[in-house]
């Protein structure tokens, strides 16, 4: 409120001449009007104080900079061809450089996965490398190594053939060719030299020992295999590949308790190891522990439900654990998918026998015996089925045949135990090979015969046994090769 006696200033016109009081007190400060024009506004902004060290750009320079920017942005429209050339020159190196770095990154990841024994992960990274580097020799050599270590020998040969076509002659490629031969059992006197190369300071020592161990195992030279595996485990006690091969050696010598210990050790280190868990489940089934096996096969089925070996193990463990209702649909699906697999037919026949479906059981079991006439357990199941159906005489025939098979298998196991403790026994190995072939164990029999020749390349009975087998199996060229070697050793040959 103004003081007593003072008058309010007028709202209209200029109030500069009016007074606050009649006594002539001081006037209010003049009102400053904001400039209205753009030029005045620009001048006012330019009159503002600027931070120290920041130069004031005159209007002409600002206008010139804006004009240059407009001209630059219009260049693609005025010169489209030149613009495309420039952008291509700048973009193509970046594009190809990025692809190279992407491929190199996956190559490094693959090498790291191989160091960690993750063969499946390493292969996945190498397949990505091939999209960018289809002709890179390093990638194909590593793929050959993975295929060999997973016993996919045809794929390993294919990758090494690609290396040969590409002209890859590196030391790593030549070593891989040699290890492929050795791992398949073609030691040819090279095992001693390779074992000497597996010194601790050698970067390829573990690969050499692993291939030698598998080569010895393929020809049932247990001493050689264990010597290599023990050296691997001395250097790397947690090497899962060495532990797995040790489990395989124990299985082949019927030392199933030690085999299960090796597989359990692997799973303690790597619970996702597919091979170890599958092998442990198989051994548990073999030792009539279906409930323990079921735990492992259910674990695998959650991760690889479509794998036929997993489905088979799951069906068997459920059937033998008494879970018939759960096993039946699995076995029916397997029979439809694999009607010529005797083990599947036999398991389905045993389930029908337990269910009291004798006619169906007899049909399944007869077909299994026809496909695999040397399985004593299936023979016994067929004997029980025929007994229950009243076919006594035929049942007795299969029972006698089952007893003969049991005697031969027992003798075979005794011979294998004797051969395992002997470092050199070509005669015994040849006998084991012949008996294995007679019992329908074809691959095992051939490996024993080749093992006899590995110890004595001039052992005549082994050469003749191999020649006879390949002639009967319709492979005359292979048979002729062994027959020629046998003929040369005979007097006057």
Q: Are residues 436 and 482 in the same domain?
A: yes
Q: Read off the CATH number of the domain in which 169 is found.
A: 1.25.40.10
Range of the domain at 131: 84-184
Q: Which of 228, 205, 204 has the alpha carbon at shortest distance from 216?
A: 228
In a domain, 29, yes or no: no
Which one of 367, 401, 417 terminates a domain?
417
Count of all residues that appear for the chain in the document: 493
Q: Are residues 90 and 170 in the same domain?
A: yes
In a domain, 432, yes or no: yes
Q: What is the dihedral sign for C-alpha 168, 169, 171, 172?
A: positive
Q: Are residues 101 and 175 in the same domain?
A: yes
In a domain, 430, yes or no: yes
Cβ contacts of residue 442 below 8 Å, gap of 6+? 436
Q: Are residues 431 and 448 in the same domain?
A: yes
In a domain, 301, yes or no: no
Q: Are residues 351 and 438 in the same domain?
A: no
Q: Are residues 413 and 435 in the same domain?
A: no
How many domains would you assign to the chain? 3
Q: Check residue 323 and give its pLDDT.
A: 96
In a domain, 4, yes or no: no
Q: Are residues 377 and 427 in the same domain?
A: no
Q: Check residue 300 and give its pLDDT.
A: 97
Spatial separation of the C-alpha atoms in residues 196 and 205, rounded to whole Å: 9
Joined together, the tokens standing for residue 474 give 């319709």
Q: Are residues 408 and 464 in the same domain?
A: no
Joined together, the tokens standing for residue 459 give 């052992």
Q: Check residue 63 and give its pLDDT.
A: 55
Q: Check residue 65 and give its pLDDT.
A: 56
Spatial separation of the C-alpha atoms in residues 72 and 64, rounded to whole Å: 12
Q: Are residues 109 and 173 in the same domain?
A: yes
In a domain, 281, yes or no: no
Q: What is the pTM of this model?
A: 0.74
Q: Check residue 353 and give its pLDDT.
A: 95
In a domain, 360, yes or no: yes
Q: Are residues 476 and 384 in the same domain?
A: no
Which one of 387, 417, 447 terminates a domain?
417
DSSP state of 32: P
Cβ contacts of residue 278 below 8 Å, gap of 6+? 296, 300, 309, 310, 313
Q: Are residues 133 and 106 in the same domain?
A: yes
Which DSSP string corresponds to 229-262? HHHHHHH-TT-HHHHHHHHHHHHHTT-HHHHHHH
Which one of 184, 210, 236 terminates a domain?
184
pLDDT in tens, the chain (493 residues): 444 444 444 444 444 444 444 444 455 555 454 554 444 444 444 455 555 555 555 555 545 556 665 665 565 566 666 666 655 555 545 444 566 687 788 888 888 888 888 888 888 989 888 888 888 888 899 999 999 999 899 999 999 999 988 888 888 889 999 999 999 888 777 888 888 888 777 778 999 999 999 999 988 888 889 999 999 999 999 999 999 999 999 998 889 999 999 999 999 999 999 999 999 999 999 999 999 999 999 999 999 999 999 999 999 999 999 999 999 999 999 999 999 999 999 999 999 999 999 999 999 999 999 999 999 999 999 999 999 999 999 999 999 999 999 999 999 989 988 888 787 889 999 999 999 999 999 989 998 998 899 888 899 999 999 999 999 999 999 999 999 999 988 876 5
In a domain, 118, yes or no: yes
Q: Are residues 88 and 175 in the same domain?
A: yes
Spatial separation of the C-alpha atoms in residues 404 and 153, rounded to whole Å: 37
Q: Check residue 419 and give its pLDDT.
A: 87
């Amino acid at each position: 409120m103004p003081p007593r006696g003072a008058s309010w200033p007028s709202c209209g016109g200029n109030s500069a001449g009016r007074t606050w009081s009649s006594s002539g007190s001081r006037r209010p400060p003049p009102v400053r009007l904001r400039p209205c024009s753009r030029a005045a506004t620009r001048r006012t902004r330019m009159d503002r104080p600027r931070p120290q060290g920041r130069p004031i750009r005159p209007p002409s320079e600002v206008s010139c900079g804006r004009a240059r920017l407009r001209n630059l942005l219009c260049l693609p429209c005025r010169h489209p061809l030149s613009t495309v050339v420039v952008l291509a020159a700048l973009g193509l190196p970046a594009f190809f450089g990025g692809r190279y770095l992407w491929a190199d990154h996956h190559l490094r990841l693959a090498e790291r996965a191989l160091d960690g024994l993750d063969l499946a992960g390493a292969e996945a990274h190498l397949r990505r490398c091939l999209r960018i580097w289809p002709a890179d020799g390093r990638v194909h050599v590593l793929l050959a190594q993975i295929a060999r270590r997973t016993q996919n020998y045809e794929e390993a040969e294919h990758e090494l053939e690609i290396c040969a076509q590409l002209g890859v002659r590196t030391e790593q490629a030549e070593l891989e060719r040699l290890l492929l031969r050795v791992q398949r059992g073609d030691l040819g006197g090279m095992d001693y030299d390779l074992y000497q190369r597996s010194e601790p300071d050698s970067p390829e020592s573990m690969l050499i020992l692993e291939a030698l161990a598998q080569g010895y195992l393929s020809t049932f030279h247990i001493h050689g295999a264990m010597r290599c595996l023990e050296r691997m485990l001395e250097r790397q006690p947690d090497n899962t590949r060495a532990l797995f091969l040790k489990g395989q050696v124990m299985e082949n010598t019927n030392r199933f308790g030690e085999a299960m210990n090796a597989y359990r050790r692997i799973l303690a280190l790597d619970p996702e190891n597919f091979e170890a868990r599958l092998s442990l489940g198989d051994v548990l089934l073999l030792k009539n522990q279906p409930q323990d096996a079921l735990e492992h096969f259910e674990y695998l089925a959650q991760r690889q439900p479509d794998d036929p070996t997993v489905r088979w193990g799951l069906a068997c463990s459920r059937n033998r654990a008494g879970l018939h209702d759960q096993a039946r649909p699995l076995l029916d699906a397997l029979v439809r998918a694999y009607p010529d697999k005797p083990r599947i037919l036999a398991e389905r026949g045993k389930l029908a026998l337990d269910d009291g479906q004798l006619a169906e059981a007899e049909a399944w079991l007869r077909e299994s015996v026809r496909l695999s006439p040397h399985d004593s357990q299936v023979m016994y199941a067929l004997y029980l089925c025929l007994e229950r159906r009243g076919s006594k005489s035929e049942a007795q025939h299969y029972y006698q045949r089952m007893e003969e098979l049991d005697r031969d298998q027992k003798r075979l196991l005794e011979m294998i135990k004797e051969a395992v403790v002997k470092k050199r026994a070509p005669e015994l190995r040849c006998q084991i090979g012949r008996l294995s072939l007679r019992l329908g164990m074809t691959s095992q029999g051939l490996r024993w015969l080749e093992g006899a020749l590995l110890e004595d390349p001039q052992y005549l009975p082994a050469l003749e046994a191999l020649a006879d087998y390949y002639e009967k199996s319709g492979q005359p060229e292979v048979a002729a090769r062994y027959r020629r070697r046998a003929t040369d050793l005979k007097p006057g040959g």
